[in-house]
Amino acid sequence: MTAVALRRRRMLRRLHGGDALQTAALIVLAVIVLVAALAPWIAPHDPNGLDLSAALGGASGDHPLGTDESGRDVLSRMIYGARTGLLGPLVVVAVSTVLGAVVGVTAAWCGGWVDALLSRAMDLVFALPGLLLAIVLVAVFGPGLTAPIAAMSIAYVPYVGRLVRNVAVQEATRPYIQSYRVQGWSGWTICLRHLAPNIAPLVLAQSAMNFGYSLMDLAALSFLGFGVQPPDSDWGAMINNGASALLQGAVLPALAPGAAIVVAVVAFGIVGEGVADRVAKREA
């Protein structure tokens, strides 16, 4: 009896607390990843299949989310859009995390003028809005995903780099790291074996949030016509296409991918905050 009651109370607490939200966010992310991976098998139509006679058709059994101005199936385009939507941020986060970690640890470990130089450089990049950097690079190298991804990868370095540097500077002065140094371990060994595990969760939290933000930024660039180029489907580009149809009363081609972006970014935000909270609790 009491055991059941106890378990129920724990479940209730879990539902009310952050845990349920965390779980939900993780499930949402898993679904998006699965959809992106299985796109060719689950998409009901060819995402680029034109059918001008069916243009701007509303939701129907055949087209659950209707069709766009060229008669392409919105749902199928969204499913394929998840691929570009995730791939871009993935590259951005991977590159910026690795670069940021290297820059941060180098700055913290070397100190002195190296630290000053790297920190100033990160301040400078931080002072430039990533979106502007991307737009300039697009101007130079032409539209397509390459320039925006490169720009965002650079723009996100300071977020990770500053975090890693600050934590590493703090950790490096801790007695346990000092004692390893005194015992004659090499700097890299200490970094890899002792600093990294301490910094990793924080970086993970930051990266999860960066994933969401860069998804937003890249979608914005596609919306401006600078990112993913037609006929490839992308959520941001779909909104751009769908915007003109809005005034004709067809809202799904623009709203559906918009909702997808918001859901994905919210989910990444929740996961990132969850990890950050857990880190904070561990520290406390």
Enumerate binding residues for another protein (CB under 8 A). 124, 127-129, 131-132, 135-141, 143, 212, 216, 219-220, 223-226, 236, 239-240, 242-243, 246-247, 249, 251, 254-255, 258-259, 261-262, 265-266, 269-270
CA distances from 154 to 128, 160, 166, 169 (A): 10, 11, 19, 23
CB of 261 vs another protein, minimal distance in Å: 6
Cis peptide before 44 (omega within 30 of 0): no
Residue closer to another protein, measured from CB, 134 or 177: 134
CB of 124 vs another protein, minimal distance in Å: 6
Dihedral, CA of residue 219, residue 223, residue 227 and residue 232, to nearest 10 = 90
Task: Give the span between the Cα atoms of 180 and 229, in whole angstroms.
Answer: 53
CB of 90 vs another protein, minimal distance in Å: 18
CB of 240 vs another protein, minimal distance in Å: 8
CB of 1 vs another protein, minimal distance in Å: 21
Residue closer to another protein, measured from CB, 177 or 205: 205
Contacts of 269 (CB under 8 A, 6+ apart): 208, 209, 212
Q: What is the end-to-end Cα distance of the chain in Å, rounded?
A: 36
Residue closer to another protein, measured from CB, 99 or 196: 99
The residue among 103, 204, 81 whose CA lies nearest residue 154 is: 103
Task: Give the span between the Cα atoms of 232 and 85, in whole angstroms.
Answer: 11
CB of 140 vs another protein, minimal distance in Å: 4
Residue closer to another protein, measured from CB, 117 or 192: 117
Residue closer to another protein, measured from CB, 5 or 127: 127
Task: Give the span between the Cα atoms of 282 and 284, in whole angstroms.
Answer: 6
Residue closer to another protein, measured from CB, 57 or 236: 236
